[in-house]
Structure 1
Amino acid sequence: MTAELAGVEATSDQILARVLSSLDDDKAEEIVTIDLKGRSSIADYMVICSGRSSRQVGAIAEKLVERLKEDFGRNCKIEGKDQGDWVLIDTQDVIVHVFRPEVREFYQLEKMWMPTGSTV
């Protein structure tokens, strides 16, 4: 039974666990989770990962949105899927960035958001 059907709102930790499971199922690479609690009001977590091609990036994002809708009744905002270089999925509690490796290297979001002293 999904959290939505049980009448219980999913926690950010439950959403994060499902996000990570979905990314793993779809062979996303170099998955990084950044805890944003107390650091940003946009979400509790940010997840950054890579897909090997534009096609895989789009597929990873599409399946994630489908799974979150099915499991939690979440309607996620998704941007960039048609281009496939960088797709952003906003689940409300978890922000997910799916990149092609070259685009990820160019923007280096991990360096911007990782706590001081952390290494990627």
Structure 2
Amino acid sequence: MNLEELTQTIVQALEDVKAKDVKIFNTEALTDQFERVVIASGTSNRQTRALAYAVSAAVKEAGADVLGMEGQDTGEWVLVDCGSVVCHVLQPNVRDYYNLEEIWGGKEVFMRANEECASRLMPHRVQHAPDAEA
């Protein structure tokens, strides 16, 4: 499974369980440990754990490996290590406090939209244009 497919699988799993504020960051220039960081919010301990388990199950079902999962005991911040992509699922107050977006820095990755989503994108924003590269 290539990087884009793995990232899409993770994002789709998060969206299926109604994650809030999903963001993807390219970390290739920052670390050699992984290439993407996906950050999402859940509204409660239960939802945060459910989001992480959904990511884990979807990645395994797609034939990729989940190297580890941490934080599911409290559910405030659950990390799912999928090798080249690391997924952080946090409650909003924890996400605000740690501000991972600032740590992993700046350049958010926009995935190529599926055809069915193209009509809902904001074409006036260059990064959202349907023909923009991911």
TM range (shorter): 0.7 to 0.9
Equivalent position SS for 2:62: helix
User: 78, 81, 85: which is aligned to 2:76?
Assistant: 85
User: 90, 101, 105: which is aligned to 2:92?
Assistant: 101
User: Equivalent residues in 2 for 1:17-36 (5 A)?
Assistant: 17-36=8-27
Which whole-Å CA distance do the structure 1 matches of 2:97 and 2:37 have between them? 18
> How many residues of Structure 1 are paired with residues of Structure 2 in the alignment?
108
- Unaligned 5+ segments in structure 1 are 1-9
- CA deviation string 1:40-90 (max 9, x = no partner): 111110001100000000001011101111111413310001110000010
Pairwise CA distance, 1:103 = 0.6
Which whole-Å CA distance do the structure 2 matches of 1:60 and 1:111 have between them? 22
Which whole-Å CA distance do the structure 2 matches of 1:111 and 1:74 have between them? 28
- Unaligned 5+ segments in structure 2 are 109-134
Fraction of identical pairs, as percent: 31
Which whole-Å CA distance do the structure 2 matches of 1:80 and 1:104 have between them? 14
Per the normalisation by structure 1, the TM-score is: 0.84
User: 60, 65, 72: which is aligned to 1:69?
Assistant: 60
The structure 1 segments of at least 4 consecutive aligned residues displaced by more than 3 Å after TM superposition are none
